[in-house]
Amino acid sequence: MIDNVEKVLVVESEWVHSLHEKRGFLKEIHPGFLRELPKRAFFIDRPKAEDDPGFRQVIPYVLVRHDGKILTVTRHKTQGEPRLHDKMSFGIGGHINPIDGDPRDVLDSGMKRELSEELRTDDPPGFGSIPILGLILSDNNDVSRVHMGIVMAWDVKTPIDVRETDKMHGDYLSPDEIGAVRNRLENWSALVYDGLFDEADARSSSIRIAN
C-alpha cells in the first residue's frame, strides 16, 4: 500500500524548550541549537505533526530585502490556506519534506526548494549562507504551538517577484510602510516586526533594517 500522507521535518518540542525559556521572536538563539538541529530533526506524518504539540515543525522564514525595503506578500483568496487570506507576510518559506533529502541535509535543500517555488529565482540561498536574525517560538495559538520558524535575511541586488501571482502579490515596503499596516500582518510577521523594530523606530522616518 502506497503511503500518500505528507511527511514534514520536525524536532521534539521538549528539546527546543529546554534551550529556550522565552517565547515569541527570539533574537538570542542558544549556541547549541543550530549545531544540533540537523541531528535532532526527523520526519513524521503531517496530520500527527499538526495535532501534537510534542513536536515543532521546522520552517525556514526568509526576509527578502532590497534597497532598504522588505518584500511583503499579500495572499489572495485563491491561495489554499483560509487563515492567511488577505493577510500580509514578509517571511518566505514553508515545510520541509522527505523529497528534500536526508534529515541531515534537508535544511539546505528544503529552503532552496521553498524559495524557488515561491519566488522567481534560479539561485536561491541555502541554509547557513545568509544571516540568521532569530527564532520564532510562539505559543500564541494552536498553529504556532506546533511550528518553529528560523528567521533569515536575504539581501538581493535586484528585486525578486513572487512566482504565483494568481495566489498572491508582493510589494517592497519600508519598515515605516509595514508598520502602517501592522494590523494586517499574519501572526509570525507581527512577532518579527515587533522584535526587529520597536515602536519608536517604527514611527521614525530614519528607521533602518536590522542586520
Indicate the domain borders of the chain: 7-202
Considering the entire predicted model, what is its pTM? 0.86
- Look at the block and give the residue holding cell 525595503: 69
Which has more confidence, 81 or 37?
37
Q: What percent of the chain has pLDDT over 90?
A: 64
**Running DSSP on this structure, what letter comes out for residue 155?**
E
Q: Nearest 5 degrees, angle CA 5-CA 6-CA 10? A: 125
Question: What confidence tier does 81 reach under pLDDT thresholds 50, 70, 90?
Answer: low
| Beta strand segments in 141-199, E | 147-155, 168-173
191 bridge partner residues: none
> What is 7-202's CATH topology?
Nucleoside Triphosphate Pyrophosphohydrolase (3.90.79)
